Structure 1
Amino acid sequence: MNLLVWNVRGLTEESKLILKEHCASFSPVIVGILEPKSIFDDFPVSFWRSINLVACHQNARDHMRSNIWVFTHPSIVSHVILSFDQVIIVRCVWMHYCFKIAVIHGANCHVARRRLWLDLLNHIDGSTVFMGDFNAIKGAHERISNCLPNNTVCQEFRDFITATGFIEPPITGLRFTWSGRRFMPSHVESVLDRAIISDSFVELWHNVSSHALPRITSDHSPLLLMCRHPPQARHNFFKFLHMWVEHPNFEKMVENSWNSQIDVNCPIFKVMAKLKRLRKELRLWNRTGYTDSLFNAEILAQAKINVALSRKSSLLKQKSRVSWLTDGDRNTAFFHAMLKYKKRPHIIPHLDIQGSMVYDQDEIGNHIVDFFSNLFNEDNMEEIDVVALEATIDRVVSPSQNDMLTRIPENDKITAAVFDMDPNSAAGPDGFFGKFFQACWQIIRSDVWNAVRAFFMRSYLPNGCNSNTLVLIPKKDVVNSVTDLRPIVLSNF
């Protein structure tokens, strides 16, 4: 679902073409037009039909043209619940989603905006989006100018956002959504357009991103709010959970699995095969024996806590004689929504591919795979003269030291190496952390000893034994291209 709000500064023929292009590219289900500077009833209905929109509402101003128009997709059922010169709030039902959107055009005067803040605070229930031209900034970091903004006005706006408890998705695209279009040194740019969303809206969509589109015909950027459900994982990767170690039946379960007969002669293959079999059994054990016991214990503990909290709430309500105290109001929904929103950086909502912004997850994934495959491909490496390269490198390892390094290690040396490594370091593709090897060392050590000695004797690692997971770490807060990602490699323990 996409939502689009744009302060067009006059709905001219040029801006109509830009709006038509945005609607064709993003298919927004709700479009808010600010400062159209046209008469609503005189505007041709055929234009809105051509971009698959129907008129929803225009706000009323005393003896003045309306400055906010709202249009919706024909499939949306809408109902206007508030309308005046600075905002239109519409309750919408689209498919099986119900939410409210406030299309905002804040007054230029901060005193007049105080009424807007108060009215918005009265409509923050449920899944809600406040979106548009707020005509306010939170501080000097949201403006480029020769003079500092009024701190009192900025503080009022910050207090309003804090009072709502809403979350503001970071804006990608243009850094500043409005430009004064003046020549230096009086050039001014600010973040006047934004979207803030309620925790219930985050729970509804999980992945919400805000994008400031290029300014062409207006001094304001069209603001696009993209709401997506997180894409389904292509692979359900196994990951060893540290809490399993604390279960009393864990070691017995691992021992039974590990000591089961397996028809493999190569010691390295034997360890790999046993780890693969153990992964399947741990998954089954986690879903049945382990998780069920946790849920049962949690249910019993939660029942006792609820009884105690109910008694405490009743006592406080009686002593304080207040009527606003509601049952179960412990902000748990807000914290869960914040946790879901924190997962958002793990998803790349869009990427610049060859000069065009791409939003399709499959296309983004294929581009990233192709980029790093070509980057690390041997075909892209220049021909290297190995003899000349060796001549430029000083020999700092003596033959005796080399013999010591390549000598078959003893069992105690292998054991010491295992326990010297970090048990909490990130796992590789097999999903086993160092915590597993250290906790189950008495069970698996003989097979690991044989596998390590086999490597030193044969100087060979089978495919898959040393596989790696390529993880992309953002270099910036907002990722626009694949070069904004730093690859790191996670290897098996």
Structure 2
Amino acid sequence: MKALCSSYSPLCMIGDFNQVEHHYDKLGGSSNITGWKSFLDWRINIPLSELPYSGPNFTWANKRNSSSLILERLDRCYASQDWNLLFPDAYLKNLNLFLSDHAPIVLSTSAKVKKPKRPYRVDNWCLELPAIQALISSIWNSSSLCNAATSVSLKLAKIRSAILKWVLENRHHFMLDWSLISKDLSVSAALAQDSSSAFDHITNIRSIEHDVYIQHSFWKQRAKSEFRFNDGLPTSYFFSRSKAREKRLRIFALKDDMGNWISSDMDLSNLIVSHFTCLFTSSTQSTGSLTLQDLSIPQLDGFQQDYLSRPFSASDVEYAFFSMKPNKSPGPDGFPPRFYQLFWGLIKEDITSAVLSFLNSGILPPAWNNTHVVLIPKVELPEMISQFRPISLCNVIYRAASKCIALRLKKVIDGIIGQNQNAFVPDANRDWGFRDTRF
């Protein structure tokens, strides 16, 4: 089968595979899934990635009585990397079971919805290039008549626009053919039989190190902790996995409160907004006369109050920026932590002044508070909006200011929280899918 599949490129396979891959693809019957490992090994070795789908989870049923009823997802669609590149928006729609024991499945190769226009996120891969560093230095050293916070916001906006323009004009020069690189290195390694040929092999490696590092940075930023190298070079299977993961995060359809599938853009938007509006609206009626003095709230002593009230310092701000992971997702302004860490020598005076201005005066520039809200699935195959949790992607500069406050609160928080407030215990809620609170 592998030899047959390798003769067809690009390749897309759709239909009844008569094999369950995961336990969540099956309901009822034996919990033992026969043949799943062999099937998965076959799929990975080709390699093929599964297309995302919308609609009911199960596509086959034996239609027996309740004690013997079995539902499984046997009908799927797999595609090769080159096919996914040709049809990046392809997805599968599972229809309802009716007369047959198998449900119809429909493959769509066009985008279901128009992709929203996302603000440009600065790429880490280009930040160490001399041309980009000169561009950033030129813009940042330009004079400004605005206050510190406004000046920083304007400079960041100019830098983002300039980097975007440069990347669009030069990105194709840094795209590498990994299969060709791997083949060339294998050949030169095989020829390294003496000191002269071994030196040629090392020279060959050094000649591509810089470009390899750029691609390494490009994919590492996008894949986060999922990133792995295989024998020093990324594989085609990794790229297909990254693309498949990106498609799986899209919401194609959801069930409403009545159990009906919703798939149109407008209905999905209304469903999501309605759910979270209701969720974050308090149903408790205010008594109107209750004051803080009436509540049994722990009090801070004078020393703790003085500690929290003392002005923040430049070292507090610097520590906050450098305690972040470089590849963390940026906020609406598009700058990841790596940008601030790499150019700290150039920007620290302005950035520190701007952050301290907010921390010590309480005046927050409106642009800093802009946030992207992203829905993260709490289960493998979410069907309802309640199976998503929202997270906020704040601007890194706002995140740094928040971290300064949080780190200071950490010193006194043990005395003002109850034993049952596990939201303030690091990692305590990870197993239950709640937010992991860190300081």
Instruction: Report what 1:269 is aligned to.
Output: 150
**TM-aligned CA deviation for residue 484 of structure 1:** 1.4
- Structure 2 residue corresponding to 1:194, chosen from 66, 69, 75: 75
Matched-pair contact (CA < 8 Å) for 2:314–2:356: no
Matched-pair contact (CA < 8 Å) for 1:126–1:201: yes
Matched-pair contact (CA < 8 Å) for 1:129–1:195: no
Pair 423,386 (structure 1): closer, same or farther in 2 beyond 3 Å: farther
Q: Does 1:442 align with 2:345?
A: yes
Equivalent runs, 1:412-427 vs 2, <5 Å: 412-427=315-330
Pair 451,174 (structure 1): closer, same or farther in 2 beyond 3 Å: closer
Deviation track 1:418-458 (CA, whole Å, cap 9, x = no partner) reads: 33444443322212222222222222222223323432453
**TM-aligned CA deviation for residue 366 of structure 1:** 4.8
Give the secondary structure class of the aligned counterpart of 2:368: coil
2:72, 2:127 → 1: CA distance? 50
Instruction: Report what 2:142 is aligned to.
Output: 260
Equivalent runs, 1:368-387 vs 2, <5 Å: 368-373=272-277, 375-376=279-280, 382-383=285-286, 387=290
2:40, 2:138 → 1: CA distance? 60
Q: Which structure is richer in relative contact order (CA contacts within 8 A, separation 6 or more)?
A: 2
Q: Does 1:125 align with 2:125?
A: no
Q: Does 1:284 align with 2:168?
A: no
1:252, 1:123 → 2: CA distance? 47
2:124, 2:118 → 1: CA distance? 18
**TM-aligned CA deviation for residue 465 of structure 1:** 1.6
Give unmatched runs, 5+ long, in structure 2.
191-233, 397-439
- Name the amino acid aligned to 1:350: A
What is the identity percentage for the equivalent residue pairs of Structure 1 and Structure 2?
23
Matched-pair contact (CA < 8 Å) for 1:124–1:198: no
- Name the amino acid aligned to 1:411: A
1:255, 1:178 → 2: CA distance? 61
Instruction: Report what 2:245 is aligned to.
Output: 342
Instruction: Report what 2:308 is aligned to.
Output: 405
1:294, 1:472 → 2: CA distance? 33
- How many residues align? The count is 353
- Name the amino acid aligned to 2:367: G
TM-score with structure 1 setting the length: 0.58
Q: Does 1:486 align with 2:389?
A: yes
**TM-aligned CA deviation for residue 473 of structure 1:** 0.6
**TM-aligned CA deviation for residue 389 of structure 1:** 4.7
Matched-pair contact (CA < 8 Å) for 1:422–1:434: yes
- Name the amino acid aligned to 2:394: S
- Structure 1 residue corresponding to 2:121, chosen from 239, 243, 246: 239
1:139, 1:292 → 2: CA distance? 39
Considering fraction of residues, name the structure with more strand. 1
Stretch moving more, 473-482 or 409-418 = 409-418
Considering fraction of residues, name the structure with more helix. 2
Matched-pair contact (CA < 8 Å) for 2:335–2:395: yes
Give the secondary structure class of the aligned counterpart of 1:486: strand
Matched-pair contact (CA < 8 Å) for 1:424–1:433: yes
Matched-pair contact (CA < 8 Å) for 2:52–2:248: no
**TM-aligned CA deviation for residue 485 of structure 1:** 0.8
Deviation track 1:360-407 (CA, whole Å, cap 9, x = no partner) reads: 3454245434543554468x6743758535642533422343233233
- Name the amino acid aligned to 2:163: L
Stretch moving more, 405-414 or 474-483 = 405-414
Matched-pair contact (CA < 8 Å) for 1:193–1:223: no
Pair 422,384 (structure 1): closer, same or farther in 2 beyond 3 Å: farther
Q: Does 1:431 align with 2:334?
A: yes
Matched-pair contact (CA < 8 Å) for 1:468–1:492: yes
Stretch moving more, 471-480 or 398-407 = 398-407
Instruction: Report what 1:23 is aligned to.
Output: none
Equivalent runs, 1:267-346 vs 2, <5 Å: 267-288=148-169, 291=171, 294=174, 336-346=239-249
- Structure 1 residue corresponding to 2:260, chosen from 335, 345, 356: 356
Give unmatched runs, 5+ long, in structure 1.
1-116, 314-330
**TM-aligned CA deviation for residue 273 of structure 1:** 1.9
Matched-pair contact (CA < 8 Å) for 1:182–1:188: yes
Matched-pair contact (CA < 8 Å) for 2:18–2:75: no
Give the superposed CA RMSD.
Answer: 4.3
Matched-pair contact (CA < 8 Å) for 1:205–1:227: yes
Give the secondary structure class of the aligned counterpart of 1:449: helix
Matched-pair contact (CA < 8 Å) for 1:176–1:189: no
Matched-pair contact (CA < 8 Å) for 1:137–1:190: no
Matched-pair contact (CA < 8 Å) for 1:427–1:492: yes
Instruction: Report what 2:370 is aligned to.
Output: 467
Stretch moving more, 417-426 or 122-131 = 122-131
1:483, 1:223 → 2: CA distance? 26
1:247, 1:211 → 2: CA distance? 44
- Name the amino acid aligned to 1:268: A
Q: Does 1:476 align with 2:374?
A: no
Pair 267,384 (structure 1): closer, same or farther in 2 beyond 3 Å: farther
Matched-pair contact (CA < 8 Å) for 1:179–1:220: yes
Deviation track 1:276-304 (CA, whole Å, cap 9, x = no partner) reads: 2222222233334x647646xx59x9988
**TM-aligned CA deviation for residue 472 of structure 1:** 0.9
Stretch moving more, 342-351 or 218-227 = 218-227
Instruction: Report what 1:14 is aligned to.
Output: none
- Name the amino acid aligned to 1:440: F
Pair 390,416 (structure 1): closer, same or farther in 2 beyond 3 Å: farther
Deviation track 1:111-145 (CA, whole Å, cap 9, x = no partner) reads: xxxxxx89x95897245554445556569876666
1:268, 1:235 → 2: CA distance? 27
Matched-pair contact (CA < 8 Å) for 1:167–1:197: yes
Deviation track 1:84-122 (CA, whole Å, cap 9, x = no partner) reads: xxxxxxxxxxxxxxxxxxxxxxxxxxxxxxxxx89x958
Q: Does 1:177 align with 2:81?
A: no
Deviation track 1:224-254 (CA, whole Å, cap 9, x = no partner) reads: 4344337554333122322334223444332
2:25, 2:242 → 1: CA distance? 26
Matched-pair contact (CA < 8 Å) for 2:132–2:163: no
2:60, 2:179 → 1: CA distance? 51
Pair 377,446 (structure 1): closer, same or farther in 2 beyond 3 Å: farther
Larger Rg: 1
